[in-house]
Amino acid sequence: MHPMAFPAPALVGIADTNALAARACNAASRSLAEELFTGLAATGRSNTFVSAHVPGELDDHLAEVAAHYPGLLLADAERVLWRQVMPGVPVIDLAVGDYLHPRVRAFMGTDLALPRCMRGDPDDIGTAALAEFLAPAVIISADSVFTRFGLANTVATTWLPAAHMLLEAAGFEATLTETAHLLEFAVRVGAGVLSGAASVARCYPFPAAGLLIGAAFIAWRSGCFSGERRRAVGYQLRQAAGEGLDRIDSAFSAYSQARGALLVVEPYGVPTVEQLAARYLARIGRPLMLPELTAALTSEGYPVTSAELEKATSRHPAFWGSASSWTGIGRRARSLRRTSSPSGMSRGLTGPESL
């Protein structure tokens, strides 16, 4: 992590079928680009993922969701979903053991004799398991089962505002991180210019001294050193600094409000090597060579060896690659329903090469 970048761990979004279908249909019905999930992907701070069962459910249920939007053609909803939304929402395949986590097993309890607050839903176990696997994460769903088990604080009427709060927080974090990199670049450029000027002055002391004296004389003649000019400049600097601090304070307040309103699925227990690797790769959004991943995890306080990482990533379905090449996570979501679309947008692409 950049030393000046935003210090809080980036939150990833875990979307379920109903949220993705609803946003695609909403955008298609208004003939607009979808902005929520594409916006989260664009920030780079809250990448969004889905469990392996979601693409199939989208094929099965998109028509039902589209029927609630008068005049919306299914083909238009599919176009927005598979061309705009899903290319930025990778699928993460999980191992059997990931579904056995204590916070996830509760979703298997479907006995009608159980009180509703304790009753799970096997259809949502993949989403819950993925949130645990990539924690800290925010589940983007209108399904009340996640609320019942304390993994989300949203229901059908509040999940969309919560998702926008996640987008707002991610955008703020991304802006702060980008600013840190720009400041570092500016400092390095400035230091390089000063270093170069000092080197020239050492090689040509008399011409350099002449230029400095000449510049000082011109500034004096133009009144730059007068008391009135100094007071005016000082006032302008103080005013700009005050306005800047007010904007920063307002931005931090808005961020704190947005992030504080989110119920985050926090990491639980000692993370496995697979979880460490998956959580890091999910946040940087690109594959790494194993030595790079090893160094990154070690720098974050998780000393692992390349051999341990190779063993962990090679046996878990979430990862692709090998010890001699890049190691990445996730695959592009694709529709299982073959259509006659000339672009092949419903068929999509499989495998890491399409991410």
- How does DSSP assign 297-327, residue by residue? HHHTT----HHHHHHHHHHSTTEEE-TTSEE
Q: What is the pLDDT of residue 215?
A: 64
Instruction: Decide if 148 is inside a domain.
Output: yes
Angle at 41 between CA 40 and CA 44, to 5 degrees: 95
**Residue 40: pLDDT over 90:** no
Instruction: Decide if 302 is inside a domain.
Output: yes
Q: Which has the higher per-residue pLDDT, 352 or 286? A: 286
The per-residue pLDDT of the chain, averaged, comes to 76
Confidence of residue 321 (pLDDT cuts 50, 70, 90): confident
Q: What is the pLDDT of residue 249?
A: 56
What is the mean predicted confidence (pLDDT) over 102-107? 75
Query: Which helix (H) or strand (E) is 104 found in, with range?
Result: helix 102-105
Contact 77, 26 (CB under 8 A): no
Confidence of residue 115 (pLDDT cuts 50, 70, 90): low
Picking from 89, 96, 170, 88, the residue whose alpha carbon sits closest to that of residue 133 is 96
Angle at 206 between CA 201 and CA 209, to 5 degrees: 70
- Structural domain for 296, as ranges: 12-167+265-354
Handedness of CA 220, 221, 227, 231 (dihedral sign): negative
pTM reported for the whole predicted model: 0.72
What is the mean predicted confidence (pLDDT) over 305-310? 92
Instruction: Decide if 324 is inside a domain.
Output: yes
% pLDDT > 70, the chain: 56
State how far the Cα of 291 lies from the Cα of 283, in Å rounded to an integer. 18
What is the mean predicted confidence (pLDDT) over 230-244? 64
Q: Which of 94-108, 133-147, 188-202 has the lowest mean pLDDT?
A: 188-202
Q: Which of 178-182, 187-191, 279-283 has the lowest mean pLDDT?
A: 178-182
Confidence of residue 351 (pLDDT cuts 50, 70, 90): very low
Q: What is the pLDDT of residues 12-38, one digit of tens each?
A: 899 999 999 999 999 999 999 999 889
**Residue 315: pLDDT over 90:** yes
Instruction: Decide if 213 is inside a domain.
Output: no
Instruction: Decide if 118 is inside a domain.
Output: yes
**Residue 339: pLDDT over 80:** no
Confidence of residue 265 (pLDDT cuts 50, 70, 90): confident
Confidence of residue 238 (pLDDT cuts 50, 70, 90): low
Q: Which has the higher per-residue pLDDT, 24 or 2? A: 24
The count of domains in the chain is 1
**Residue 91: pLDDT over 50:** yes
Instruction: Decide if 314 is inside a domain.
Output: yes
**Residue 149: pLDDT over 70:** no
**Residue 100: pLDDT over 90:** no
Tokens of 279: 């959580």
Instruction: Decide if 68 is inside a domain.
Output: yes
Query: For the chain, how many residues are written?
Result: 355
Q: Which residues contact 100 (CB under 8 A, 6 or more apart)?
A: none
Instruction: Decide if 83 is inside a domain.
Output: yes
**Residue 131: pLDDT over 90:** yes
Angle at 346 between CA 42 and CA 90, to 5 degrees: 35
